[in-house]
Amino acid sequence: MSWDWHYAWSVLPPLLRAFVVTLEASLAGFVLAAILGLVWAVSRMAPVRIVAGTVFWIVEFVRSTPLLIQLYFLYYVLPEYGVVLSPLAIGILALGLHYSCYTAEVYRAGIEAVPTGQWEAARALNLTPRAIWLRIVLPQALPPAVPVLGNYLIAIFKETPLLAAITVMEMLQTAKLIGAESFRYLEPLTITGAVFLLVSLLASFAMRRLEVAHVFHR
């Protein structure tokens, strides 16, 4: 079996349409991971021990189980409790939840890098805990976290083919179906891989630019 340009060209449009789904899942999953991760990181430092402890174990649990199992679990178990979501929504939920436990660590490192003196000076000025977080700590903790978060965006993007397992019509699933119809897998799978390669390389390059800009800004 040799490469057929004509066939490759003909399968490109459906693959690119599926690429849009891949992008949607990556971006929405990332936004969810970025927001949830911040919630985890801040509540892990809550003065209430039960809150901090519960969050610690949630994060440990999610980080220590495979994403694929989490996907299947949400896909098959949520409907039993009356929660019916589209496969794409479940995929986004799983990606966001799974990666939030990694972004939480990124935020935690940023928060811990803020010197205790900043907290003390803020408390001595009688700022409320809310104001200390929003005005003093997070503005200093978040900028260094941005480049690392960007790397997780790329990681999430590369994990999206897992969503094929729960029938999301992203690129891999589409490539498989095209292959199954025509018995030619070489072109659709190659194109799919090439798109991932290209986008990841571009994104890494952009992240490095961002990192450099960040270093110079400080």
Chain residues binding another protein by CB under 8 A are 115, 117-118, 120-128, 131, 135-136, 139-140
Residue with smaller CB distance to another protein, 51 or 83: 51
Residue with smaller CB distance to another protein, 82 or 117: 117
Q: How far is the CB of 117 from another protein (least distance, A)?
A: 4
Residue with smaller CB distance to another protein, 51 or 201: 51
Judge whether 156 and 30 are in contact, CB under 8 Å: yes
Residue with smaller CB distance to another protein, 134 or 194: 134
Q: How far is the CB of 140 from another protein (least distance, A)?
A: 6
Q: Measuring CA to CA, which residue among 64, 96, 77, 74 is closest to residue 160?
A: 96
Backbone angles phi, psi at 127, to 5 degrees: -65, 150
Q: How far is the CB of 118 from another protein (least distance, A)?
A: 6
Judge whether 103 and 156 are in contact, CB under 8 Å: no
What count of other Cβ atoms lies within 10 Å of the Cβ of residue 150?
A: 18
- The encoded tokens of residue 103 equal 């972004």
Judge whether 33 and 96 are in contact, CB under 8 Å: yes
Question: Who contacts 201 (Cβ-Cβ below 8 Å, separation ≥6)?
Answer: none
Q: How far is the CB of 109 from another protein (least distance, A)?
A: 18
Residue with smaller CB distance to another protein, 118 or 151: 118
Q: How far is the CB of 123 from another protein (least distance, A)?
A: 6
